[in-house]
Structure 1
Amino acid sequence: MRALIVDDEALARSKLLRMLRVFPDVEVIGEASDGASALMLAAQLRPDVIFLDVQMPEVDGFDVAASLPDDAPALVFVTAFDQYAVRAFDAQAADYLLKPVEPERLARTIQRLRGTVRSAARPSVGMPAHLMVADRGKTHVVRCADIEWLEAADNYVNIHLPGRSLLIRRTLAALLNDLAPAFVRTHRGAAVALAAVLAVRPRAKGDATVVLRSGVEVPCSRQHREMLVQRLRG
């Protein structure tokens, strides 16, 4: 079982590393002190499980979870605060450990993890504040509130922001699951942020064009037009 430890506190990472060394079938393959490093190492090392702190500077553990690709490893949240437990288990986290982690409790976590496989799809962990996008060799921290629209590109999604676009390795359906209910699909390969919509202009055969506040126009198919209008009237 290949594990990645993510915590902004070096002492916390060292302690968990020492505790995990007790288990002969667990190999800690990396450590990260922030969300951007966690995302980069997860892509490079492909761990089976990530032990993930919740409260970290700039982006929290739930933002990291939402930024991982769809074939993400199992997640074990590790935190000193118990108020995040419901959110973590709603996201079907493998486990939720409270600091200071007790050896007996960690042993139960490892037993639970043994034999598990990567999930092909993860349920939403709730609307994240940020996404971390590794694009063109650089990790970008994106405020979800700044995203104007999303455009599918095979197993990637173009995240369109004011003046720039970034490519994230997610499917559109999975990313929308994390960003709901702030976004709505307008086309098989497109979705818009409701807050960015300025107008919906009818077109022939029931189709429409969605005009965003930035002036960008996004196609809207007849199949999705009614739902878009309902959500805008909300």
Structure 2
Amino acid sequence: MSTTLRVLIADDELLARKRLSRLLSALPDVEVCGEAADGEAVLAAVRAGGVDVVLLDIHMPGLSGLDALALLPQGRPHVVLCTAHAEHAVEAFEHGAMDYVLKPVEPARLQKALERVRARMEPEARPREVSAPAEKPAAGATAPRALARLPIPTRQGIVLVDPETISHAALDDELVTVFTAQGEFLTDFTLNELAEKLPAELFHRVHRRALLNLRQVARLEPLETGGYLARTARGHAVEVSRQSARELRRMLGLRRGAEDEG
């Protein structure tokens, strides 16, 4: 049985709030727990508790949606940006947004965003729900998909890396290098194995030779091939193939050619 998602609608426009409320009322296991018309009201509602998801507009009086997103406390609810401004997508993901939905919000797109939130919440809640000691997995059982720490064997020992600090992994010749805030590490993992071990909501296979953490991307530069050159926050360049660029645009809600308009 699915847990009911408690959703806070944050938008300075009354009509936009009403539309979102109407769309949410048609979805199963979703409850509107409140509304906010500015960033300060968002922060106050989150601090009061009882919010699982914030549907957050960007342009609001006082604190913008991105300002409020950056100021949310630890243990905060998941955030889905609902905005007409596609150019802020990368910045939103850098601040930890779960998804980015363009206005006018379509019912199917909104439902997909909330399904992503629910999928993220289920493994987060599981350890709190289990009171008995965990049993050892049976022989041949599949390990959990996402690791809290990625173990990377090195000459100095096994380095345990927080996946969120990984910007990307790249295949060069036959070796894969993992680029992290702590440094660069060679690993015996293949890119496919890394993709299975790392959180799917963070890491995307953007090229046959590269795996990319979208939250670590500072800028996407269009290439003549139809792909992108992704610039990470630490200055690395990662090629995004043409096919992956199309998927990335769909995921970010970017229309074809939107990257050249601003």
User: TM-score w.r.t. structure 1 length?
Assistant: 0.49
User: TM-score w.r.t. structure 2 length?
Assistant: 0.44
